Amino acid sequence: MPLAEARQRIVADLSPVTDLETVALAEARHRVLAQDIVASVNVPSATNSSMDGYALCPGNDETRREYVQVGQSLAGHPFGQALEAGQCVRITTGAVVPEGADRVVIQENVVTQGDTVTIAAADDLPGVEANIRPAGEDIAKQDTIFQAGRYVRAPDIALMASIGHAHVKVLRRLRVAFFSTGDELRPIDGPLAVGEIYDSNRYGLAAMIADLGLEGVDLGAVGDDPAALAQAFDKARDCDVLITSGGVSVGDADHVLDVLKTRGTIDFWKVAIKPGKPLAVGTIGNTRFFGLPGNPVSTAVTFIQLVRPALVALAGGQPAPALRFELPTTQALSKRAGREHYLRACIEPGPNGLCVTPVGHQGSGVMRSMSQANAFVVLKAETEHVDPDALVAVEPFAQSVWQ
Ligand SMILES: Nc1nc2c(c(=O)[nH]1)N[C@H]1C(S)=C(S)[C@@H](COP(=O)(O)OP(=O)(O)OC[C@H]3O[C@@H](n4cnc5c(N)ncnc54)[C@H](O)[C@@H]3O)O[C@H]1N2
Ligand code: MOO
């Protein structure tokens, strides 16, 4: 199946979670908002100074340079009275600007003698509103700062705290079960016999699921045994999603699809992507199923490119479109026509601006390429050759996957 069609089919007809829970704001990071967030206060709450200096009431005399200091307004300790023409107060950053004052002069620009504050140079006369932050400059009371469906990031926590929003209604976390398959897999804290390998994909999957803020349910490593696989499938029934790694190709021990057929349905199998061709997508009852190929880079690439947008949508969020742009490649690239290729690459500064270089060995078992890379180079299915310095499509890893 062409990659574009697979992408479309994966996100079509998804039923996002709807159950809500209320969490303390500090727990809301990487959760999906289940309510619009409306400000009940202005931020800042009062008109205040952005600098340490003197809040001035020039009256009708814009060129006035001499003022009488009648008090002070410190952050948390407002002056509390109105100023008259020719008066000023000492003011600190964040302190309330008293009524009557309409500008602040920074303290570096004045000389003081007793109660008299003089602006040293005519050039330093502040204009109206200088160094003043109006009430509601950031958020006005009744503003909707976020809409339901928003994925909460660290700055959002600060913004909600700034309006005193102590508890937040969020969607329940998507439950994502996962297991790896293969008789060769061993726990990572034991020895290896000949032909055995550590079960690295399960750790990679757990980390990618956790990175999204979703609840991972680790069902362990399952041998190449249809009965054991069937049991593992059944354990995932109360989860929203099941992701497996391995056993989806055409080998004698690749039983995942046969077992899936006894438990649910296969929507499609095999996508024109490299790495990741034998990806299988299906359903078991209400659980969405993604059978990822076992080669570690294939597991990671199919998760990022095809599973992640579905997880975001199922969790109640909006998958962000891929941030894709073109950069010159420092190397010639060759491939066979037929599949869209996702090369692991590094975007780096070059002599004429940014360029991109594929990192190391591109084999689908070579996980170091994933670890070292900071971007994918995407080559179209029909592409066979790219010359050095030609523009290629690039997708940086750092982009957000939630809108
Ligand atoms: N005759 C054909 N052979 C293969 C084809 C094909 O079209 N015809 N497709 C190849 C492609 S492409 C891929 S990708 C792999 C995927 O196969 P499976 O999903 O069945 O994966 P396995 O055979 O179970 O494992 C592949 C490879 O990955 C290692 N592996 C598996 N699980 C883990 C794990 N949890 N942690 C680390 N490494 C793991 C496994 O040992 C194998 O080396 O099939 C090709 N074959
Ligand atoms: O296409 Mo498979 O996923 O590379 O090795």
Q: pLDDT tens digit string along 55-76? A: 999 999 999 999 999 999 999 9
* pLDDT attached to residue 188: 97
* pLDDT attached to residue 254: 87
- Quick one: what percent of the chain has pLDDT higher than 70? 100
Domains and CATH numbers, the chain: 3-15+173-314 (3.40.980.10), 20-43+138-171 (3.90.105.10), 48-133 (2.170.190.11), 325-396 (2.40.340.10)
Averaged pLDDT for residues 181-188: 97
**Ligand 1 surroundings by CB, under 6 angstroms:** 180, 182, 184-185, 197, 199-202, 245-251, 254, 275, 277-278, 293-296, 298, 364-365
Q: Output Rg (C-alpha) for the chain, integer angstroms.
A: 30
* pLDDT attached to residue 191: 96
* pLDDT attached to residue 255: 93
ipTM: 0.98
Asked if the model's pLDDT at residue 162 lies above 90, the reply is: yes
CA–centroid distance, 308 to ligand 2, in Å, is: 18
Task: Tokens for 335, please give them.
Answer: 């491939």
| Contact (CB, 8 A) for 287 and 371 | no
Asked if the model's pLDDT at residue 253 lies above 90, the reply is: no
* pLDDT attached to residue 358: 97
CA–centroid distance, 173 to ligand 2, in Å, is: 31
* pLDDT attached to residue 172: 98
* pLDDT attached to residue 159: 98
Averaged pLDDT for residues 151-171: 98
Mean pLDDT of the chain: 97
* pLDDT attached to residue 251: 85
Position 399 confidence tier, pLDDT thresholds 50, 70, 90: confident
Of 295, 305, 335, best ligand 1 pocket probe by most atoms within 8 Å of the beta carbon: 295
315, 175, 313, 316: which is closest to 238 by C-alpha?
175
